[in-house]
Structure 1
Amino acid sequence: MSLLSTPIKPFANTAYKEGKFVDITEADIAGKWAVFFFYPADFTFVCPTELEDLQDNYAELQELGVEVFGVSTDTHFSHKAWADSSPAIGKITYYLVGDQNHTLTNAFDNLRPGVGLADRGTFVVDPDGVIQLIEITPEGVGRNAAELVRKIKAAKYWREHPGQVCPAKWEEGAETLAPSIDLVGKI
């Protein structure tokens, strides 16, 4: 069953953020857009490239009112050690969430069976706590944060403009569609 259009489950985890350990729950995202960016493990290969790319787009996401949570099944202590040892991870200013008990990863149905690691999954949650976008890629395929930003802009537009939808490759400011019987077979 897809988690798309379903509310997130309650959670309580500890994250590493800008030199501190902080406790987070679903209450921290109430009324906000949020990205849960799951990755397999700290100290690996594709993961730091993705997390650094996400950091490079974090300011724009913040301007859009989006909070970012990088999540793996490592501990928050491991996240700190990785940030201390890796130049790419050391510059991250969003939350790096520890999920060693797999509760958050299981809540998003994103735990790789029999392995104990999160799949490379992205979940965008709207201000009502409902999952609006999901992307899962195989372990060897990194994600593109610029495309994530584009999709979030489209999701926000769609939410704020009832009756309008965003066509393929829609970019902010481009034309949208108003679905109606008049458009059937004309696109």
Structure 2
Amino acid sequence: MSQSLINTEIKPFNASAFHNGEFIEVSDADLKGKWSIVFFYPADFTFVCPTELGDLADQYDELKSRNVEVYSVSTDTHFTHKAWHDTSETIGKIQYPMIGDPTGTITRNFGVMIEEAGLAERGTFVIDPEGKIQIVEISAGGIGRDASELLRKVKAAQYVAAHPGEVCPAKWKEGEATLAPSLDLVGKI
């Protein structure tokens, strides 16, 4: 990825997804008007991926309570997502939409396509209600992500969006002090 996607608007897409026992259509328009997490992973029926998706499923109710929708995406089809959901206890608990991206359009839009493999990197994107990317995290294939840390980052992004002029310091947790950047703080932190 040659340029940062931070504060850029998501690119248009249309895709099929498996969600709550049925196939649905999802587009970039569905990501607007609320906070969204687009969670790319390499492939269904693998090893690290189900641990990540299950961990994210465990945080889903909390995310939904914060007006955040989660979309997992791999280059598998929505049919493969259904088969995985139906056969894996871990994946069976997922209630968020599982988008199929067999053409790689969405994966390329977000700059996480591994071209030689036709698979997605482990990419996490937090998108604000205007459709702009606020958080980007990309991990190597063997490194699983932590949904509780993602939730912390979402809380910080929502706080900063709701409180212009304030920023959240390292390890900030909801309810803790924030900072108001000013000339008086320079060199005093």
Structure 1 ranges of 4+ moved more than 2 A? none
Gaps of 5+ in 2: none
SS of the residue 1:57 aligns to: helix
In the TM superposition, residue 43 of structure 1 has moved relative to its aligned partner by: 0.2
SS of the residue 2:151 aligns to: helix
SS of the residue 1:70 aligns to: strand
What is the alpha-carbon distance in structure 2 between the residues aligned to residue 140 and residue 20 of structure 1?
Answer: 31
What is the alpha-carbon distance in structure 1 between the residues aligned to residue 6 and residue 116 of structure 2?
Answer: 24
SS of the residue 1:15 aligns to: strand
Gaps of 5+ in 1: none
In the TM superposition, residue 128 of structure 1 has moved relative to its aligned partner by: 0.4
Aligned residue runs from structure 1 range 3-152, under 5 A:
3-152=5-154
Q: What are the Cα deviations for residues 2-45 of structure 1, in whole angstroms up to 9, with x where unaligned?
A: 11110000110000001100001111122110000000000000
What is the alpha-carbon distance in structure 2 between the residues aligned to residue 30 and residue 119 of structure 1?
Answer: 24
Q: What are the Cα deviations for residues 35-77 of structure 1, in whole angstroms up to 9, with x where unaligned?
A: 0000000000000000000000000000010000000000000
Tell me if 1:180 matches 2:151. Answer: no
What is the alpha-carbon distance in structure 2 between the residues aligned to residue 5 and residue 23 of structure 1?
Answer: 26
In the TM superposition, residue 113 of structure 1 has moved relative to its aligned partner by: 2.5
What is the alpha-carbon distance in structure 2 between the residues aligned to residue 158 and residue 30 of structure 1?
Answer: 18
Q: What are the Cα deviations for residues 90-139 of structure 1, in whole angstroms up to 9, with x where unaligned?
A: 11000000000001001101101311000000000000000000000110
Q: Which residue of 2 aligns with 1:155?
A: 157
> How many residues end up aligned between the 2 structures?
187
What is the alpha-carbon distance in structure 2 between the residues aligned to residue 103 and residue 63 of structure 1?
Answer: 30
In the TM superposition, residue 182 of structure 1 has moved relative to its aligned partner by: 0.3
Q: What are the Cα deviations for residues 133-184 of structure 1, in whole angstroms up to 9, with x where unaligned?
A: 0000110010000000000000000010000000000000000000000000
What is the alpha-carbon distance in structure 2 between the residues aligned to residue 2 and residue 77 of structure 1?
Answer: 33
SS of the residue 1:62 aligns to: helix
Percent identity at matched positions?
59
SS of the residue 1:106 aligns to: helix
Letter in 2 for 1:37: F
What TM-score do you get using the length of structure 2 for normalisation? 0.98
Pairwise CA RMSD: 0.5
SS of the residue 2:135 aligns to: strand
Letter in 1 for 2:76: D
What TM-score do you get using the length of structure 1 for normalisation? 0.99
SS of the residue 2:64 aligns to: helix
